[in-house]
Amino acid sequence: MLNKMKLWTTSKNSAGLEERIEKVKKHPIPAHIAIIMDGNGRWAKKRALPRIAGHHEGMKVVKRITKMASQLGVQILTLYAFSTENWKRPQYEVEYLFKLPGEFLGTFLPELIEENVQVKMMGHKEHVPAHTLAAVEKAIYDTKDNNGLVLNFALNYGGRSEIIEAVKKVTDDVKNGIINENQMNEELFSKYLMTNQLTDPDLLIRTSGEIRLSNFMLWQLAYTEFWFTDVLWPDFREEQLIEAIEGFQHRSRRYGGL
């Protein structure tokens, strides 16, 4: 039987990394970090491997970064795992991407539980294959009583469609007299979004050198600090997460004020 402890300790932090962790923890840690995990395909291409090999390597990085985020005291980690636009990819790649949550959770759920991680998902559940949804829902259920890091998978998620769905629900609630249109403000509208239980991201990281949002959390990123890195997601390591947080700690967040 695989020893649970062994899995987490395989990536035991080096002394240098421990020092950086202690240093970065002396300053405010972003409560919510959102990541656009980009560059899996290019990582694979560089190695003459199929694109799905890059996604598989990317999945392993999810584990490392989740563990580090938890260790650093991050409260929410939102990961863009599949966008509403990713359906345009070849069918074999789409099918593979939807296998990854099951593989990830099938392997690491006991450790996530041990690490006090709470799994969540945001996205349009329809069209997500039943086996993927079942794996994610099981993980959500099994971790519901945890109160550590929230690991929020954005799966079949798109920022624009999220807003349109919210507008439809608002319209229904106005029609049904549940709310009055004059009550509408940013705070109330936020409650209709898929992130209604979550705070907005403090830090957005996008890997692979692409500098765009790709329909990710369009409402929620209004005042988020952005960190772009050329590192491809499968090469992203604990050190790069810390570097992004250090960058964040040097920003001055004014929210439009002085």
| Shortest distance in whole angstroms from residue 93 CB to ligand FPP | 8
- Residue 156 annotated in ligand binding: no
For ligand FPP, give the closer residue by CB, 75 or 86. Answer: 86
Would you call 38 a catalytic residue per the annotation? yes
Active-site annotation holder among 86, 156, 200, 202: 86
Would you call 172 a catalytic residue per the annotation? no
For ligand FPP, give the closer residue by CB, 98 or 192. Answer: 98
Can you state the angle between helices 15-24 and 51-72, rounded to 10 degrees? 60
Secondary structure class of 81 (helix, strand, coil): strand
| Shortest distance in whole angstroms from residue 104 CB to ligand FPP | 3
| Shortest distance in whole angstroms from residue 59 CB to ligand FPP | 4
Cβ count near 224 (within 10 Å): 19
Binding site for ligand FPP (CB under 6 A): 37-42, 55, 58-59, 62, 81, 86, 97, 100-101, 104, 153, 208, 233
- Residue 253 annotated in ligand binding: no
In order of 66, 105, 117, 119, the CA distances from 75 in angstroms are 11, 20, 10, 12
Q: Is 65 in contact with 109 (CB distance < 8 Å)?
A: no
- Residue 225 annotated in ligand binding: yes
- Residue 40 annotated in ligand binding: yes
Q: Is 120 in contact with 152 (CB distance < 8 Å)?
A: yes
For ligand FPP, give the closer residue by CB, 10 or 185. Answer: 10
- Residue 83 annotated in ligand binding: yes
Burial 128-154 (b: 16+ CB within 10 A, else e): beeebbebbeebeebbeebebbbbbbb
Active-site annotation holder among 13, 38, 173, 230: 38
Residue 101 sits at φ, ψ, to 5 deg, of: -60, -40
| Shortest distance in whole angstroms from residue 58 CB to ligand FPP | 3
Closest residue to ligand FPP in the complex (CB): 41
Sign of the torsion formed by the C-alpha atoms of 7, 110, 138 and 84: negative
Residues annotated as binding site for Mg(2+)?
Answer: 38, 225
Residues annotated as binding site for substrate?
Answer: 39-43, 51, 55, 83-85, 87, 89, 206, 212-214
- What positions carry a catalytic annotation? 38, 86
